[in-house]
Every structure is written in structure tokens, then in C-alpha cells.
Amino acid sequence: DARVTQTPRHKVTEMGQEVTMRCQPILGHNTVFWYRQTMMQGLELLAYFRNRAPLDDSGMPKDRFSAEMPDATLATLKIQPSEPRDSAVYFCASGLVSDGKLAVDYNEQFFGPGTRLTVL
Amino acid sequence: KQEVTQIPAALSVPEGENLVLNCSFTDSAIYNLQWFRQDPGKGLTSLLLIQSSQREQTSGRLNASLDKSSGRSTLYIAASQPGDSATYLCAVRPDSWGKFQFGAGTQVVVTP
């Protein structure tokens, strides 16, 4: 049963501390997305990767957030230093996008369970 | 800029009634539209994906329609059950690169 996994599931930290969230996409998927969900803003796209390369991270505060894919099985989202306004649920999703023009694109995104972050 | 709206924000129905959830978008140039379900404290579960060339998709009790020209999609859930209680989100994608734009969701409560 293939699924996206995220760790940790819950994180409570103090303002100023570094936070690292990890995501393991579904094996074989070539696209990874990071989302943030808050009550006020709803679900926002922070960054997404295709074939491990960052395609768009315009939704991410660059001064404190960074996203990487060290390898095809691991995506990380780091906040340094963290602030109370970063408190949210962070979701990772993976998908498979075909490179071929004539191939069928399988564009569904599969979401992980999320990391609930609380910054005090 | 694409805007996705879901109305109503919340909906309560008795068990057995059919559910009708609406999603509207301002830019009809979409690549596809996806309906998700979110349970409290959990991630998103994909329900149905409709490509821009399709008019509808069906899965069990779920049916989603797409009218690009009017910028609307509707999710129908037949014979609702208490287990259908969740928040339902729709998301549109402008191209194949995967940048979704989400609606705020409709919170559904199905009472026994």
C-alpha cells in the first residue's frame, strides 16, 4: 500500500529554533509538493519539485524557509529561525508527471498525513 | 489570477440525502480539477480527478461534473452517510506542472 509518509507528525518548538520536516514520496513519483494549511489562509502551495529540481518556490518565505530533495526518496522543508506565525499543518504530496508529450499524464497528487507544527 | 470559490462553506444534511457541493473558478483555462476530502487532523485524500477534456468522473457514490465554460464543478455524493462527514476541497491546475489553486473547502456534516 504505497503512501506518502511525513515525519514528525507533531512538532512543538520555541520561537527561534530550527525546524526540519521530512517527506518520503511514493516510490516512482517524480513530483513533490509542500503545502501549508492554516485556518486563516487555507491551503497554500509553498514549493514543488520535479525530478528533484525545484520548479517553483514562490509561495515560500525565502528568508527563513528552505526546501530540498537530497535524493528521490526524501524531501525536506526547513524553517530557520521559526516564528509563532509559522504554526500550521504542513503537507507533502507526491505525483507522477510524464515527460512525453504523447504519454498520458497521471496527475493526481497523493498527500501525506501532514506535520502539525506549533511554534511558541 | 485564478480564484477558486466553494459555496457553501458548511453544510449539514440528514443521512440518506444527496449532497451537492459546488466549486467555481474564475479562469476557465484549466488543465484539470481535483476533488479532495480532508478528515479532521488528517491529510488530504484524492476523490476524483477530472481532466479539462472531460465532463464528468464517477467513483461509487461520487460523481463530479466539470463545465469549463462557466467555470464550475459540482461534486455529488449520493445517499450520504455519517462517514461522509468531512471537509471537501476542490483544486484547479492551470497546466501540467502541478501548481494547484485550492478552494477554501466545504465542511459537511451528515447526521444519523
pLDDT band for position A105 (50/70/90)?
very low
Which chain B residues touch A105 with a CB distance below 8 Å? 96
Q: pLDDT above 90 covers what percent of chain B?
A: 65
Cβ distance A107 to B93 less than 8 Å, yes or no, reads yes
Selected residue with higher pLDDT from B4 and A42 = B4
Cβ distance B45 to A56 less than 8 Å, yes or no, reads no
Pick A91's closest partner by Cβ from B31, B44, B93: B44
A61-84 pLDDT per residue, tens = 889 999 999 999 999 999 999 999
pLDDT at A107: 52
Name, in order, each residue with C-beta under 8 angstroms of A43's C-beta and a sequence gap of 6 or more. A35, A36, A37, A91, B89, B102
Which chain B residues touch A33 with a CB distance below 8 Å? 98, 100
Q: Is B89 on the interface with A (CB under 8 A)?
A: yes
Q: Which among A1, A34, A43 is the top mutation candidate for probing chain B, defined by the most B β-carbons within 10 Å of its own β-carbon? A: A43
Which chain A residues touch B53 with a CB distance below 8 Å? none
What is the CB-side half-sphere exposure of residue A108 using CA atoms within 13 A? 14
B31-78 pLDDT per residue, tens = 888 898 887 766 677 888 888 899 999 999 999 999 999 999 999 999
Give the C-alpha separation, A11 to A32, whole Å. 21
Give the C-alpha separation, B49 to A108, whole Å. 7
